Amino acid sequence: MSLKTNREQLVMTAVQGGVSPANQWAPFEVGASGELFAWPSTGGITYNVKIGDSVFGWAGEHIEPGVSSTLSHKNRKAESGYQFLACCGNEVRVISGAAKGETGTVLGHHGGVEHLMLDFPDETLDKLTCDDKFLIRAYGQGLKLVDHPDVHIYNLDPDVLDAMGLKERDDGCIEVPVHVVVPGYVMGSGIGALSVTTGDYDILCHDEAVVKEHAMDKLRFGDFVAVLDHDNIYGRTYRRGAVTIGMVIHSDSPLGGHGPGMMTLMSALDNKLVPVLSESANVGTIKGIGRFA
């Protein structure tokens, strides 16, 4: 039995965006180990990087799987409503071009560039152009567990929450399936951001021994991940006993202070959330998308 939520009180709102242009940030960039590279990065339509793929090993950095989208490409302040309202698992429909009427799924949002990533089947991706538009049934902000008000939930479609496999224990704590558990000290870019509803923060993977110790080399796009001793209730900060559950939304990066990006899904204090390792803890298994299609 799923935990009781307030889904009947949630507001469903249409938001519309288009394909974000692919970016080149600099002719060359310098990684944390001093390496020089000129790689693909954010934006555009990415055909061969999917939910369920490893976030490592690509000749690219901060790679966003599927379609990267924005509201207007012009006014970053206006982009916040597009990112804020669209939640992981929401339905997105193509409203222009050869793929008009076909549907996909919202993965999540990437802070800084203010992108929203959208997953579509290959046959839809092949029809899309960089001029196409998308309409999203944005639904999920304000979601709560009725009997657990101390668990704060963000950016999550209630259908995905119901399918994640949360279990209430006799002591009142809630078990949450995750693919990887990371210590709070590996979190980097995005710490200190006041809003957890329009961006992400990065898991630092430059220390090979730490990566191996915590099985962080298993990280995949769409994975549910637990961060220990991190409070994301009102921004992102260290707090002993807090646990944050997030989802991986972009690839690794050699840049200092950066790594695979994780969007916040839920957070609570006092070890209320208990991570339980599961190979299937990925939004792709729930929605049947990406490599899990």
The pLDDT of residue 283 is: 98
152-292 CATH pick, 2.102.30.10, 3.40.190.10, 3.30.230.10, 2.30.110.10: 2.102.30.10
Please list the residue range(s) of the chain that carry CATH number 2.102.30.10.
152-292
Nearest of 153, 133, 132, 134 to residue 144 by alpha carbon = 153
Closest CA to 62 of 186, 196, 200: 200
pLDDT, tens digit (0-9, with 9 covering 90-100), for 5-27:
999 999 999 999 999 999 888 89
Query: Which tens digit of pLDDT belongs to each residue from 265-279?
Result: 999 999 999 999 999
- For CATH 2.40.10.170, the residue range(s) in the chain are 11-138
Instruction: Give the 3-state secondary structure of residue 82.
Output: helix
CATH number of the structural domain 11-138: 2.40.10.170
pLDDT tens per residue across span 214-269: 999 999 999 999 999 999 999 999 999 999 999 999 999 999 999 999 999 999 99
Q: What is the mean pLDDT of the chain?
A: 96
Distance CA 203, CA 236 (A): 13
Q: Residue 193 half-sphere exposure, CB side, CA atoms within 13 Å?
A: 19
CB under 8 Å to 288, separation ≥6 — which residues? none
Q: Is 35 exposed, middle or buried (0-12, 13-18, 19+ CB in 10 A)?
A: exposed
Strand-pair partners of 17: 134
